[in-house]
Amino acid sequence: MEQDLRQSLRINKDYSITYAPLVNLQDVDKNFAEARLCNISAGGIAFEAGEGCKKGDQFLLKISFKGWKKDGTKIVPCDKNESCFFLNAIAEIVRVRKIRNKRMFRIAGKFMGRCG
């Protein structure tokens, strides 16, 4: 059994995200794919996607949190239909695992920074 080396608390959520490889920043908006967020923490993210990648790849992630909105300098809860808070981040892939009996991959990445 693998030892859990995480330093931050994980939050298990089922949100949709989009992601694109950071190969060519000029074309990144054309290459976004959808994925399902599995969990997120201050240090990283895990998501399921239909396409695999390799350890060390870097991605631009766009995560939307329904039920939250920005209010000045704070992020506060709101009606899920009212607003949505977006987080754009860059992550480096640390682990990729094929999900048995599915055409999906479980991808884990560590946050490298926020953008936008």
Backbone angles phi, psi at 19, to 5 degrees: -150, 155
Task: Indicate whether 75 pLDDT > 50.
Answer: yes
pTM: 0.74
Bigger pLDDT: 15 or 13? 15
> Where exactly are the structural domains of the chain?
11-114
pLDDT at 1: 43
38-70, pLDDT tens digit by residue? 888 889 999 999 888 899 999 999 887 777 778
Looking at CATH, the fold of the domain delimited by 11-114 is given as Thrombin, subunit H (2.40.10)
Q: In the 3-class helix/strand/coil scheme, how is the chain assigned residue by residue?
A: CCCCCCCCCCEECCCEEEEEECCCHHHHHHCCEEEEEEEECCCEEEEEECCCCCCCCEEEEEEEEECEEEECCEEEECCCCCCEEEEEEEEEEEEEEECCCCCCEEEEEEEEEECC
Q: What is the Cβ-side half-sphere exposure of residue 22, based on CA atoms within 13 angstroms?
A: 15
Bigger pLDDT: 74 or 55? 55
Q: What is the mean pLDDT of the chain?
A: 81
